């Protein structure tokens, strides 16, 4: 069976500027792809092309081999799309969810039952008779998602559907979404600028910056071996440092070995390390010396900001006494929580 969604040689230009360029992207039935990228990376444009809301300037965006833009309504109606803002209509919650079912010709009793079931799955059935515009942000997001799921779409496109929710509501939202999708082979494309959110649903992550996919792979490979410094920053590495690799394969921060070796050739490289990878040792225990600039209490740990020509971010367990601001400490990097990235090949200068 062929791919459900397929982008090939897509280039999209808006206002004279290329905003998206994707040579190839394919998703099979049941695939869940998270598209991670900063604001303005082209994430929403990608979803709009997949949904058929816009036609690409060049190339094809297909659903089971049929170009989506300009396709019959039947093709477009196989795609559910939850936009960043809930986009609820000024009627009751139940009528909001019933509307796409009515447009698909369902009988009143069937659409009422289907809409209620969709609201139930997202735990908002008790809001069915409320005015949709009187809901809180979290409730509205759930109703919007219930409306997108009510039509049992073959493809579900999610554009940061939980933006603006507090941490607890955010977690609960994705738990319920996961449960709602559990017994379905829905192909999901979820765009977000948050690495932690990308990991919640996805079995693949595409990192999108400046309209191009910089890395595509399973979450473990993207997190464990980011393709470049930009990807490392996006997936959430606390430290993305310019380093040197010496002839003995040691990784040097500011010319000082940091405790890591690599298989990369000698020369400049990038070191991506989680804050937890930086071990603070008493002076003299490790060659890399740093000064403590800031100590702050984080959730379950101390957050340390250190300066050693470059800014470093480290963590200490709350039970451990943190160093004082201005104190000198030595730093060693745990190779298990760090990745050395080869420099990107320089683009050739125009002739």
Structure tokens at 284: 């003299």
Residue carrying structure tokens 């500027």? 17
- With CB under 8 A as the contact rule, the residue among 131, 184, 233, 250 that binds other proteins is 131
Ordered strands of the 5-14 beta sheet: 17-27, 5-14, 58-63, 66-67
Residue 89 makes contact with other proteins by CB under 8 A: yes
Provide the token pair at 214.
Answer: 């910089």
Q: What CA–CA distance (Å, rounded) separates 54 from 276? A: 43
Residues 148-167 that bind other proteins (CB under 8 A): 148, 151, 157
User: Using the rule CB under 8 A, which residue among 60, 85, 171, 184 binds other proteins?
Assistant: 85
Q: Which is nearer to other proteins, 51 or 234 (CB)?
A: 51
Q: How do strand 187-192 and strand 155-159 relate by DSSP bridges?
A: parallel
User: Quick one: which of 60, 77, 171, 194 contacts other proteins (CB under 8 A)?
Assistant: 77
Residue 97 sits at φ, ψ, to 5 deg, of -75, -30
**What's the length of the chain?**
351
Size of the site for other proteins (CB under 8 A): 28
133 binds other proteins (CB under 8 A): yes
CA separation for the pair 143, 183 (Å, rounded):
20
| 56 near other proteins (CB under 8 A) | no
Pairing of strands 79-82, 155-159: parallel
Q: Which of 76, 171, 194, 337 binds other proteins (CB under 8 A)?
A: 76
Q: Which stretch binds other proteins (CB under 8 A): 6-14, 59-67, 87-95, 113-121?
A: 87-95
Restricting to residues 325-344, name those near other proteins by CB under 8 A: none
Residues found near other proteins in the complex (CB under 8 A): 48, 51, 53, 73, 76-77, 79-81, 83-85, 87, 89-91, 99-100, 103-104, 131, 133-134, 144, 147-148, 151, 157
């Amino acid at each position: 069976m062929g791919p459900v969604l397929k982008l090939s040689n897509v280039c999209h230009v808006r206002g004279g500027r290329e905003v998206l360029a994707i040579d190839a992207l394919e998703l099979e039935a049941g695939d869940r792809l998270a598209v991670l990228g900063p604001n303005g990376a082209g994430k929403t444009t990608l979803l709009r092309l997949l949904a058929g809301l816009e036609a690409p300037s060049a190339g094809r965006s297909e659903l089971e081999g049929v170009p989506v833009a300009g396709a019959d309504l039947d093709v477009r109606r196989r795609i559910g799309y939850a936009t960043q803002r809930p986009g609820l209509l000024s009627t009751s919650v139940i009528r909001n969810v019933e509307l796409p079912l009515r447009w698909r010709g369902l009988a009143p009793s069937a659409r009422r039952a289907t809409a209620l079931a969709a609201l139930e799955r997202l735990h908002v059935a008790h809001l069915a008779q409320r005015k949709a515009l009187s809901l809180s942000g979290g409730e509205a997001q759930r109703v919007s998602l219930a409306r997108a799921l009510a039509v049992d779409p073959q493809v579900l496109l999610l554009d940061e559907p939980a933006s603006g929710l507090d941490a607890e509501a955010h977690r609960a939202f994705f738990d319920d979404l996961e449960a709602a999708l559990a017994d379905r082979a829905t192909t999901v494309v979820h765009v977000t600028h948050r690495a932690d959110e990308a990991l919640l649903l996805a079995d693949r992550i595409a990192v999108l910056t400046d309209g191009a996919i910089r890395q595509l792979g399973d979450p473990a490979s993207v997190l464990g071996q980011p393709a470049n410094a930009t990807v490392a920053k996006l997936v959430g590495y606390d430290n993305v440092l310019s380093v040197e690799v010496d002839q003995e394969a040691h990784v040097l921060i500011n010319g000082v070995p940091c405790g890591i070796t690599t298989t990369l050739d000698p020369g400049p490289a990038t070191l991506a390390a989680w804050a937890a990878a930086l071990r603070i040792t008493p002076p003299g225990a490790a060659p890399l010396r740093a000064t403590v600039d800031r100590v702050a209490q984080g959730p379950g740990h101390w957050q340390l900001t250190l300066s050693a020509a470059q800014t470093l971010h480290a963590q200490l367990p709350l039970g451990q006494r943190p160093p004082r601001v201005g104190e000198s400490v030595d730093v060693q990097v745990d190779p298990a929580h760090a990745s050395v990235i080869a420099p990107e090949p320089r683009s050739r200068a125009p002739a």
